[in-house]
Amino acid sequence: MDAFQIHGPAVISGETHAAGSKNSALPILAGSLLTEEEVLLENVPDLRDIRTMLKLLGILGRRSERQGPDVILKAGKISWTDAPYELVSTMRASISVLGPLVAREHGAKVSLPGGCAIGPRPIDLHLKGLEALGVNIETHHGDVSATTEGLKGARINLGGPFGSSVLATDNVMMAATLAEGVTTIECAAREPEVVDACNFLLAMGAKIEGVGSGVLKITGVPNLHGCRYRIIPDRIETGTLLAAAACTGGSIFVKGARADHLERVLELYRQAGCELTINEDGIGLSVKGRLKNVETETLPYPGFPTDMQPQLMAMMALAEGISVITEKIYPDRFIHVQEFARMGADIHMEGASAVVCGVQKLEGAPVMASDLRAGAALVIAALAAEGESLVRRIYHVDRGYEKLEDKLEALGASIKRVKE
């Protein structure tokens, strides 16, 4: 099993680039099942989850070819409608194939998905939405079996106890593009990744109104065609790289990053004392002196994203004063707190809030990634810590960051991948 060996403290400075968005690319890849024609996707990150999705599409009959940052999904019919446990269990986004499969083939069987251990993430909203379109759902032995005699448009509310669901919005929307009549999705997720999926479907000939709003109106069409489409830059990777520079007192410029997708994150970075430079080429950040404390809560877009919560905590572990970070999306997403404590961070929990008392320094230590974003946050903390750290279970990190160690090393980090 691989680990990151990191010697700190480092100063992360220089110029880098934002890769394509993982959370956009995964459902968009699944959406390619909606057409028999060839689809060319640009700016697709080369990640473990992406490779898993391409394997899954291959089993279903959608052959692919990677050419650098681009992926060509070959023309062809769907040859299989069962998504096996061996692939689905490692990646939550695999449930995204359910909507396209029932839309095209009127039936599918998908194993209940896996992914990061960040608390309960049921797929009830996916199933609720598909049932409203006329899909018969049965769940047994860990599989979801879905059949329909034909999808029909409906009015569907996808609001959940912790807000709207990005993947459920994608899944239901993709199915609705080939349904008879008009589908209205209320409480639709508004994240940039959902907008990206909408724009991809529009490029394929779908009819969607209200893109970027909480209400989507989809008028079904008989079929969709192939297209060429470019994936948006990854806002979470961008926020992570900016956090690494902020935590280490560096200066960084992330080419291709979109500030309009990170408004709440950048607002908090400013409050923490970071100086930001924003232009059409990307986002720059620099820090002079110690970071300042902030208070925030995770919320659906355009609020502060839950996927940036651990990285912000790494910053606040070294900030002046007391910070409070409240998790309102996944209240159990705090396993990384005990790992930060191993490095000397002063953090205690009060319900769904982490109270972070900034310390003068962190110390290198062996730590373990519990999930994708927690792993990235531990890497950030290790960069700022004094001495050697070993970040274990980095297969989590590999699911969402393309060659993270190479990017950080080019920016001044002493980091290498080692075998344990």
Closest CA to 287 of 322, 262, 318: 318
Separation between Cα atoms, residue 402 and residue 221, nearest integer Å: 36
Place of tokens 């990005």: 166
What DSSP string describes 367-385?
EE--SHHHHHHHHHHHHHS
Strand duo 182-186 + 215-219: pairing: antiparallel
Is 13 exposed, middle or buried, given 0-12, 13-18 or 19+ CB atoms closer than 10 A? middle
Determine which helix (DSSP H) or strand (DSSP E) holds 227, and give its type and residue range: strand 227-230
Cβ atoms of residues 267 and 79 within 8 Å = no
What DSSP string describes 259-285?
GGG-HHHHHHHHHTT-EEEEETTEEEE
Which residues belong to the active site? 116
For residue 213, what are its two tokens? 């709003």
Strand duo 215-219 + 207-209: pairing: antiparallel
SS3 141: coil
Separation between Cα atoms, residue 238 and residue 141, nearest integer Å: 40
Strand duo 387-392 + 366-368: pairing: parallel
Dihedral-angle region of residue 210 (phi above 0 means left; psi in -120 to 50 means alpha; beta otherwise): left
Closest CA to 27 of 79, 76, 99: 99
For residue 243, what are its two tokens? 């956090």
